[in-house]
Chains A and B, each alone.
Chain A
């Protein structure tokens, strides 16, 4: 449905806000070149809700805006369906302007036109279609009202757009993007301007709507919880590159590298070394907290190879008293600090000279300074080759 091939883009003069400074006549002495996106290749299939996830400045928004045609990459190719909308450096250069790409987009600031009513905002994309394809007045009315009804904005159609609340403006931005039934919908942090409670409810609504309409969507966010909750697949980005692509479960449970392991959720990460193949499906790993038995994951990990060990805090268990012989990966530890979160209790546990983050159910009872046994299920840690 959407294919990006080796997209690259360099910004000259680094910082945002450069416009204002330039116009004030400041010298542009620091022509620092920043690689905004550095060889991004992706394939998104029909009907997916595909998320670009990463910290600010990782290139996710630049990638999205390149797909929209608002940004011109230096090289690479963008195909929407079987149509090449951008290509440079591949022999047949072309760049379809943004207003001919026929995509829907929801901006972070929603970009609701304040001088139009709710109806006029949503009708705009239909009213600016080329003459031959432009629907009649009645058809525009009918189609816009249908999409407004889907988003429960039909009762406000005649109101000025500025009279809407934040959540309603967000839905209107969505309605406007959907009005022309685009092949591809682009969403640039659409929920980041809303308060936490509204964000959560709209998140589910968005997922439901996307699923019902079956519209292929690219979603940009820096919020990993949001990404995990709504995406069919996620591309984690950093420094203009894609670090990992996969389903939310894979990204969370099997991070491919240190960045993903640290960025998604919380992890206890150790530098470790593979000691030996213990059995058919386990290996032994030497780590700063001791020798651990871990599920075998890849043939790349041979004896003596350095690796990273990532252990999720909720996959670590605590038991009272000193280690028992029969418990796998049992280590003596001391509870340093605990913090009650409501649905869980976080414990900081000292093992050797390291501290581990352990997340236990709210009912657990391990006071600070108590001696405990730390257990790690061999199936849960992720071993990443270094």
Chain B
């Protein structure tokens, strides 16, 4: 049984020849890698120069200036306590929440997931302000009752405990996402096997579930610790009034005191980067162990949720309390204060003073709409630039056979070790002596550059996992069918990556919209962004206006997320 097959003619026209030479691949790949290298390495170079070069020769004097002060030991201890404490708070809350959502039959689980993740859109500085309104000794709403009973405030958010509490809760959504993935990828029959073997639920958790989660927990803990070491808002706002300094807040205040000691700030930054690199290295080691945890996995039967039975109502109650305390109360504090002419302790009598004056004031401030617009522009720009860069970089890392593809991987993930404030510092060093032929300093461009550098690893993670999920056979069959490299990327690879990329785009959009660390060093009048504006309002003592802005932003973000959620069919938020 044979059929005649007519072969297509061998390409001879100039178009086909041009396609065969295919310069696009080289241009696109080369261009992307040059841009990434420029974004990541140049700031490092300038940071190193500012730190190690003094009057034209190498010197370590900057380290002496940075670390010889009286508070140095305290700074190390504070940083450590702050980071570890934050990790404990966020891991505990997030792991329990993720377990309830992923593995049990608790009611309203999809709602729980959404509510657990949504606070991710709230700028950290806003969350801190809401906790000041709740738990400051002077005006905190929560202190109204203890003050009425004992005459003394009970809660003091301006303390290490306050810093850990607020920062820890603010990290819950991030850790929740990590742990939800860990629970989802865990073979449910490992737990079932323990039950059938006769273990009680408690024994199952202690002897099977928790040990199995150890790699994921360790990884999440290190992520939070590295992130907290670089997080400056809580330390600067809640810690510094009491003289509690950590690395980043020290850098911030060094760069604030005139004349700036750029060398000392650089030295602190370099030390911080080294610590973060050590943490990431450790993380890699833990991940390495994680892979050896793999056993034969079958087609897992539909994961049967753990039945809570009589515990159900208590679990629900606990979760409800958690959300009231961590989301409801802060929102209430913002809403309450946004209606008042000045901040005050809670009393029913305050209601008489309610007015919408603060909201009206927002409308009158041109800086509000300006910074809203700037934030939006920067967030969309950052997310889009990162998407383009990471698609190509991910392809190079996973699919190309270039010998240096491993370097691209390291390069693109390197900024995960740079706190936003440090990136802001390094980028400002670069563009004060601008190497580019057009002005950057004092424009939105400098913030875009800092943002793209800062959030490149976030985008990379999504792009890489989106590409990993596409079988390479799909690309190979496109090649065999005669598609050029560019046609293959455009017609096969990219369309298949789109769902994962949308998720990454939304995530970068969110984190860029709430960025403060880099922005605070790089903004100039006229180029404020929202988080900077809120920070300024706080510093000027305009807490009630900041509250009103916070409420407006929360409503706005919630609406945007709801729309994105509907449009993206939920791809973005919970992955």
The interface of chain A, by Cβ under 8 A from chain B, is 16-20, 22-26, 28, 61, 65, 68-72, 97-105, 107-115, 124-125, 128-129, 160-162, 166, 169, 176, 180, 186, 188-189, 192-193
Are A23 and B180 interface neighbours, CB within 8 A?
A: yes
Are B203 and A114 interface neighbours, CB within 8 A?
A: no
A112–B197 CA distance with the chains assembled, in angstroms: 12
Are B197 and A128 interface neighbours, CB within 8 A?
A: yes
A124–B292 CA distance with the chains assembled, in angstroms: 21
Q: Does B190 contact A (CB under 8 A)?
A: yes
Q: Does B347 contact A (CB under 8 A)?
A: no
What residues of chain A lie closer than 8 Å to B297, measured between beta carbons? 109
Are B294 and A23 interface neighbours, CB within 8 A?
A: no
Q: List 20 A-B contacts (CB under 8 A).
A: A19-B305, A24-B573, A26-B110, A99-B194, A99-B204, A107-B192, A109-B297, A113-B194, A113-B212, A114-B212, A114-B292, A115-B293, A124-B194, A124-B207, A128-B194, A128-B198, A162-B294, A169-B295, A176-B197, A180-B198
Write out, one digit per residue, whether chain B residues 198-221 have a CB within 8 A of any chain A CB (1) or not (0). Answer: 111101100110011010000000
Q: Does B392 contact A (CB under 8 A)?
A: no
Chain A interface helix/strand/loop/mixed: loop
What residues of chain A lie closer than 8 Å to B196, measured between beta carbons? 68-70, 98-99, 101, 103-105, 186
Are A125 and B197 interface neighbours, CB within 8 A?
A: yes
Q: A17-B302, A102-B198, A161-B295 are in contact. Are A107 and B114 (CB under 8 A)?
A: no
What residues of chain B lie closer than 8 Å to A128, measured between beta carbons? 194, 197-200, 203, 207
Are A25 and B293 interface neighbours, CB within 8 A?
A: no
Are B113 and A110 interface neighbours, CB within 8 A?
A: no
A23–B104 CA distance with the chains assembled, in angstroms: 11
Q: A26-B110, A192-B298 are in contact. Are A19 and B303 (CB under 8 A)?
A: yes
Give me the 7 closest cross-chain CB pairs, A-B, nearest first. A109-B298, A111-B193, A125-B197, A16-B302, A25-B110, A111-B189, A108-B298
What residues of chain A lie closer than 8 Å to B212, measured between beta carbons? 113-115
Are A24 and B574 interface neighbours, CB within 8 A?
A: yes
Q: Which of B496-526 contact A (CB under 8 A)?
A: none
Are A19 and B102 interface neighbours, CB within 8 A?
A: yes
What residues of chain A lie closer than 8 Å to B438, measured between beta carbons? none
What residues of chain B lie closer than 8 Å to A125, measured between beta carbons? 197-198
Minimum CB distance partner of A107 in chain B: B189
A115–B208 CA distance with the chains assembled, in angstroms: 8
Q: Does B138 contact A (CB under 8 A)?
A: no
Minimum CB distance partner of A61 in chain B: B301
Q: Does B18 contact A (CB under 8 A)?
A: no
Are B574 and A25 interface neighbours, CB within 8 A?
A: yes
A180–B198 CA distance with the chains assembled, in angstroms: 10
Q: Which of B68-116 contact A (CB under 8 A)?
A: 101-102, 109-111, 113-114
Extra contacts, 16 of them, besides A70-B192, A124-B207 (Cβ < 8 A), are: A16-B301, A23-B102, A23-B110, A23-B184, A25-B574, A28-B110, A70-B195, A72-B307, A99-B200, A107-B189, A111-B192, A112-B295, A114-B295, A125-B198, A128-B203, A169-B295
Are A99 and B195 interface neighbours, CB within 8 A?
A: yes
What residues of chain A lie closer than 8 Å to B294, measured between beta carbons? 114, 162
Determine which residue in A128, A161, A180 has the highest number of CB atoms from chain B within 10 A of its CB, and name it: A128
Q: Does B494 contact A (CB under 8 A)?
A: no
Write out, one digit per residue, whether chain B residues 157-200 have a CB within 8 A of any chain A CB (1) or not (0). Answer: 00000000000000000000000100010010110111111111
Are A71 and B304 interface neighbours, CB within 8 A?
A: yes
A186–B197 CA distance with the chains assembled, in angstroms: 12
Q: Does B565 contact A (CB under 8 A)?
A: yes
What residues of chain A lie closer than 8 Å to B296, measured between beta carbons? 109-110, 112, 166, 169, 193
Are A23 and B193 interface neighbours, CB within 8 A?
A: no
A72–B305 CA distance with the chains assembled, in angstroms: 12
Determine which residue in B189, B193, B201, B301 has the highest number of CB atoms from chain A within 10 A of its CB, and name it: B193
CB distance from A364 to the nearest CB of B (A): 24
Write out, one digit per residue, whether chain B residues 302-319 have a CB within 8 A of any chain A CB (1) or not (0). Answer: 111101000000000000
What residues of chain A lie closer than 8 Å to B190, measured between beta carbons? 111, 113
Determine which residue in A22, A65, A72, A111 has the highest number of CB atoms from chain B within 10 A of its CB, and name it: A111
Q: A115-B214, A124-B194 are in contact. Are A110 and B295 (CB under 8 A)?
A: yes
A263–B303 CA distance with the chains assembled, in angstroms: 28
From B198, B293, B298, contact of A99 by CB (8 A): B198
CB distance from B188 to the nearest CB of A (A): 9
A25–B297 CA distance with the chains assembled, in angstroms: 27
Are B110 and A24 interface neighbours, CB within 8 A?
A: yes
Are B113 and A25 interface neighbours, CB within 8 A?
A: yes
A188–B188 CA distance with the chains assembled, in angstroms: 14
Q: Does B436 contact A (CB under 8 A)?
A: no
A111–B195 CA distance with the chains assembled, in angstroms: 12
CB distance from B100 to the nearest CB of A (A): 10
Are A98 and B195 interface neighbours, CB within 8 A?
A: yes
What residues of chain A lie closer than 8 Å to B184, measured between beta carbons? 19-20, 23
Q: Does B300 contact A (CB under 8 A)?
A: yes
Are A108 and B301 interface neighbours, CB within 8 A?
A: yes
What residues of chain A lie closer than 8 Å to B111, measured between beta carbons? 25
Q: A108-B298, A109-B298, A115-B214 are in contact. Are A65 and B189 (CB under 8 A)?
A: no
Minimum CB distance partner of B300 in chain A: A109
A26–B187 CA distance with the chains assembled, in angstroms: 23
What residues of chain A lie closer than 8 Å to B305, measured between beta carbons? 19
What residues of chain A lie closer than 8 Å to B198, measured between beta carbons? 99-100, 102, 125, 128-129, 180
Q: A70-B304, A162-B292 are in contact. Are A113 and B195 (CB under 8 A)?
A: no
What residues of chain B lie closer than 8 Å to A69, measured between beta carbons? 195-196
From B102, B192, B295, contact of A98 by CB (8 A): B192
Determine which residue in B110, B194, B196 has the highest number of CB atoms from chain A within 10 A of its CB, and name it: B196
Q: A100-B198, A109-B187, A124-B197 are in contact. Are A26 and B302 (CB under 8 A)?
A: no
What residues of chain A lie closer than 8 Å to B565, measured between beta carbons? 25
CB distance from A235 to the nearest CB of B (A): 19
Q: Does B299 contact A (CB under 8 A)?
A: yes
A110–B299 CA distance with the chains assembled, in angstroms: 11
What residues of chain B lie closer than 8 Å to A169, measured between beta carbons? 295-296
Q: Does B570 contact A (CB under 8 A)?
A: yes
